[in-house]
Amino acid sequence: MPAPGELIFAAPRRAKPPRHLADLDPAERRAVVAELGEKAFRASQLSRHYFVRLVDDPDEWTDVPRALRRPLAEALMPRLMTAVRHLECDGGTTRKTLWRLFDGALVESVLMRYPDRVTMCVSSQAGCGMNCPFCATGQAGLTRNLSTAEIVEQVVAGARALARGEIPGGPGRVSNVVFMGMGEPLANYKAVLGAIRRLTDPTPEGLGISQRSITVSTVGLVPAIRKLADEGLNVTLAVSLHAPDDELRDELVPVNTRWKIAEVLDAAWYYAEQTKRRVSIEYALIRDINDQAWRADLLGRLLKGRLAHVNLIPLNPTPGSKWTASRPQDEREFVRRLEAHGVPVTVRDTRGREIDGACGQLAAANT
């Protein structure tokens, strides 16, 4: 019997998510199977069911003896999350899913199908601790980190929906993954790195997505950017800059009071140098806040000659925020000035605004 106090303080969300095959590398999977007294090849069979056939229902594991299915499923493929609802727009080619995790925590993921690719935008944390005032996710604070398998399962669920033809456009595959959903991925470093490995390990041990098609977006946690640069990976780094001067960035991205713009960009250039990959600089254009011509020039001078490109994001509306997107003429002038400095720039085609599924709108309220 637990003491009464334990019942009060044992917050369910403190418990760890159940262990899942997607948390483990192939050797660890074999070890779990061996502990159950089974042959190692069962681990590869299960990996194939999960990552290739996208099947987690043991009744469909016809190559596994019936008596073994349940113990193996309990050990390696527990149910991690349940879809609470799907919201769709763009004729069903953009789909946001609200997930309830084992402890009641809620997260969202977004599938976006384009003519030439399918991008899954995944959450790495329930909530977020970074507190950026223009982003809906930060407003309720951080609930908890997701496990590696909880991140991977969001992508596998999207892959399943595509494979089963649930998304208009015929059967398809997930080609890209962006860590741009809820949470700060580099604040949950270990689980995110594990997820990158599972997503990019060749099939059947992983999903076989190309490393170049994965983007990790960060507010600028400098030591973690440098660590990621040293992992020998080929993933794209995106830095949420949003202001070229520390005075404004302190307000828009509060972690800037810890690591200033110069340090963040130094870490970004180190990343570019190590990986030879162009860093993406994210900049949400907010009317009369960060969209002035002089700020475009300042940004242009910071980025000139670097292995970088700017991705401008028209600000998406969030509840309770007084800020709004820039006027079209200010956006055009911002682009023009960056280009005048020779800095490549694109304006993000933000999807999912109608379903509160666009950048900064994921809040996972179950209403």
Binding site for ligand SAH (CB under 6 A): 130, 132, 134-135, 180, 184, 217-219, 240, 282, 284, 313, 315-316, 318, 359-360
CB 255 within 8 A of CB 130: yes
Nearest to 191 by CA among 227, 155, 129, 146: 146
Q: Supply the minimum distance, in Å, between the C-beta of residue 164 and ligand SAH.
A: 28
Pick 75 or 241: Cβ nearer ligand SAH: 241
The residue among 174, 184, 130, 137 whose CA lies nearest residue 153 is 174
Residue with smaller CB distance to ligand SAH, 112 or 130: 130
The candidate with the shortest Cα–Cα distance to 176, out of 91, 116, 88, is 116
CB of 299 to ligand SAH, least distance (A): 15
3-state helix, strand, coil in the chain (%, to 5): 40, 20, 40
**Based on CB atoms, which residue is closest to ligand SAH, 101 or 312?**
312
Shortest Å, Cβ 302 to ligand SAH: 17
Decide whether 24 or 359 has the Cβ nearer to ligand SAH.
359
* Distances, alpha carbon 215 to alpha carbons 65, 132, 236, 341, in Å: 40, 20, 5, 25
Q: How far is the CB of 216 from ligand SAH (least distance, A)?
A: 8
Catalytic-role residue among 108, 184, 205, 282: 108
| Rounded-to-integer distance, Cα 194 and Cα 191, Å | 5
Task: Give the nearest residue (CB) to ligand SAH.
Answer: 360
Token code pair at residue 271: 């990343």
128 assigned to active site: no
Residue number, 86 or 353, with CB nearest to ligand SAH: 353
Least Å distance, CB 124 to ligand SAH, is 8
- Identity of the amino acid at 144: R
E strands along 59-147, which residues? Answer: 81-89, 94-101, 106-113, 118-121, 125-127, 142-145
Candidate list 121, 132, 135, 359, residue with the active-site label: 359
Query: Distances in Å between the alpha carbon of 30 and those of 8, 190, 308?
Result: 38, 21, 42
Active-site residue, 89 included? no
Three-state DSSP state, 29: helix
Give the active site residues: 108, 359
